[in-house]
Amino acid sequence: MFSRAVLLLLSGAAVAGADIRVVEQIVAKVNGDIITRGELERSRQTLEAELKQQNVPPAKMKEMLKEKEADALRDQVDQLLLVQKAKEMSIDVEAEVTKELADIQMQNKITDPDKFHAWVQEQSGMPFEDLKLQMKNRAMTQRVIRQEVGGKITIPKTELHKYYEEHKSEFVRQEQVFLREILISSVGKTPEQVAAAEKRAKDILARAKKGEKFPELARDTSDSESAKNFGEIGWFKKADLNPSLQHLFKEKRGYITDVMKTDNGFVMFKLEERHEEGLAPFEEVENEITEKLYVPRMQPKVREFLTKLREQAFLEIREGYVDSGAAPGKDTAWKDPAQLKPETTTKEEVAARKRKRLLGIIPRKSAPAKPVSDTAAATPPAPAPIPAGPGAPTRP
């Protein structure tokens, strides 16, 4: 996650009676929005950093970066069109983004808002408001795709059954259980503090057995690293579990153990899911089959939808740049420079546009936006004053 970058270009031409200043080059206009050369470069830098963190071999990295560069402008246009469509549909994701940020803040146990904002910038490399905007844009695009594409894809039950009958070997299970945990640590505590930790664990167990959701309790109360994953510690075969937990293979889904003392503290487990040994029944794997058949149909439909949005949009691409998702037959040529304003925009204008987007001031317009661009420099403004926890069952 990174902020929208600024690639600064120095103009070599002088404007009579005015100083030359740094400008940012516009490469595409999408309705009322623009895409800059700096944004494309930042996208590449972000991917390169992620690949380096994943220790991707240099040759493979070079190949992936080349693929990314080929589709860089397409991806930026896709994003803008989907966000614009979301605003046109009056999609409001403010509440879900606020909750998502609150969950992140709670998971990392940062109560002070200012400290959380600083932590976000340290972890993501962008200011809090930029991250929030990125999260809102992601949520809006996902909602548009669900409503306008995903919701219109149906897979008949007969097709699901047909897949099951033809691929039964995929659904032969080993006997396994899927567990969550809540750990209250006693490490480094005095006898009185250990007693208090045990009482706290028993209080949490009582809350869980009264109906409070175990995942949320794990997130909010557990001292284990698994708290960040709502207490999930994964699938276990019988041989993987401590003897004291092997009785879980006789219990039903939803079963919660008593509080158990471990070297690290006091822990309880919930049996979230289980697989019996042998061929899983159709009803148990229906959702899995649906996903297998849904995904390959989804991508082409999404691309069809994005092509339709391009056909309806005001879209101009600067010479030398290619939209690999272009709508066939649509004229997106950069218009006659002599009839237009400069094809660059100032750093200050980009920043001002960005600030207005963050504040939600600029409404999206369906009418074609007035083209900006072709070449020039302008006068400067006046100066101004983010593993299994310690209580997890052991694996061989």
Of 350 and 104, the one with more pLDDT? 104
Mean pLDDT of the region 52-78: 89
Q: pLDDT at position 191, please?
A: 93
CATH class of 23-151+290-359: mainly alpha
Q: pLDDT at position 123, please?
A: 87
Q: pLDDT at position 394, please?
A: 41
Rounded CA-CA distance 20/379 in Å is 7
Give the confidence band of 68 by pLDDT, cuts at 50, 70, 90: confident
Q: Are strands 23-30 and 315-317 parallel, antiparallel or unpaired?
A: antiparallel
Q: pLDDT at position 196, please?
A: 95
Q: Is the pLDDT of residue 18 over 60?
A: no
Instruction: Read off the pLDDT of residues 120-143 as tens digits, 9 standing for 90 and up.
Output: 999 888 899 999 998 999 999 999
Mean pLDDT of the region 26-33: 92
Mean pLDDT of the region 5-22: 34
Delimiting residues of CATH 1.10.4030.10 domain(s) in the chain: 23-151+290-359
Environment class of 48 (CB within 10 Å of its CB; exposed 0-12, middle 13-18, buried 19+): middle
Judge whether 230 and 215 are in contact, CB under 8 Å: yes
Rounded CA-CA distance 2/121 in Å is 9
Q: Is the pLDDT of residue 158 over 50?
A: yes
Q: Is the pLDDT of residue 26 over 60?
A: yes
Name beta bridge partners: 358.
Answer: none
Mean pLDDT of the region 215-226: 92
Delimiting residues of CATH 3.10.50.40 domain(s) in the chain: 175-276
Return the structure tokens found at 195. 């007693």
Q: pLDDT at position 359, please?
A: 41
> Among 139, 129, 126, which Cα is nearest to 94's?
139
> Among 178, 227, 216, 237, which Cα is nearest to 390's?
227
Mean pLDDT of the region 66-73: 89
Give the confidence band of 354 by pLDDT, cuts at 50, 70, 90: low
Q: pLDDT at position 348, please?
A: 58
Mean pLDDT of the region 358-364: 39
How confident is the prediction for the chain on average, in pLDDT? 81
Mean pLDDT of the region 162-187: 94
User: In this prediction, what percent of the chain has a pLDDT beyond 70?
Assistant: 79
Give the confidence band of 221 by pLDDT, cuts at 50, 70, 90: very high
Q: pLDDT at position 180, please?
A: 96
Give the confidence band of 15 by pLDDT, cuts at 50, 70, 90: very low
Mean pLDDT of the region 166-191: 93
Q: pLDDT at position 189, please?
A: 93
Tell me which of 35-44, 164-173, 280-289, 345-354 is least confident. 345-354
Rounded CA-CA distance 203/212 in Å is 12
Number of helices and strands (H, E) in the chain?
Answer: 10, 10
Give the confidence band of 349 by pLDDT, cuts at 50, 70, 90: low
Q: What is the DSSP string of 245-279?
A: GGGGGGSPTT-BPPPEEETTEEEEEEEEEEE-SEE
Inter-CA distances, 288 with 52, 131, 218, 254, 296, Å: 33, 33, 26, 21, 14
Tell me which of 53-62, 240-249, 326-335, 343-352 is least confident. 343-352
Q: Torsions phi, psi of 28, nearest 5?
A: -155, 150
- Annotate 202-241 with b (16+ C-beta within 10 A) or e (fewer): eebbeebeeeeebbebbbbbbbbebbbbbbbbbebeeebb
Q: pLDDT at position 389, please?
A: 40
Judge whether 131 and 120 are in contact, CB under 8 Å: yes
Considering the four listed CATH numbers 3.40.50.740, 3.10.50.40, 3.30.930.10, 3.30.70.60, the one that applies to the domain covering 175-276 is 3.10.50.40
